[in-house]
Amino acid sequence: MAELTRDDVAHLAGLARIDLSDAELDRMVGELGVILESVAVVQQSPIEGVEPMSHPMPIVNVTRPDVVRPSLGADAALSGAPESDQQRFSVPRILDED
């Protein structure tokens, strides 16, 4: 596996909308590198001929009928929000996008 670079970390931080200082970026390259290295051990597993698995149970087609069930209600829905206004979740504006 290719080494994690400082640019990779900066790119990921941008996607996750986390503002990292230069010092934090440097630190994260090291810390994330250690994590990746540790996890990379699984890549040594002999997987020849083994199909990738996305679900532990071999079941398909679990569906529900298209019948309306009660929703939470706006008060309950908003109760966990740090801020709300006009019965809506209030969030900081997202920069650089329209």
Tokens in use for 68? 């309306």
Binding flags for another protein, 27-66, as an x/- string (CB under 8 A): ---------------------------xx-x-xxxxxxxx
Q: Is 47 left (phi over 0), alpha (psi -120 to 50) or beta?
A: alpha
79 binds another protein (CB under 8 A): no
Query: What is the DSSP-derived secondary structure letter of residue 85?
Result: E
Residues that bind another protein (CB under 8 A): 11, 15-17, 54-55, 57, 59-69, 71-74, 77-78, 80, 85-94, 96-98
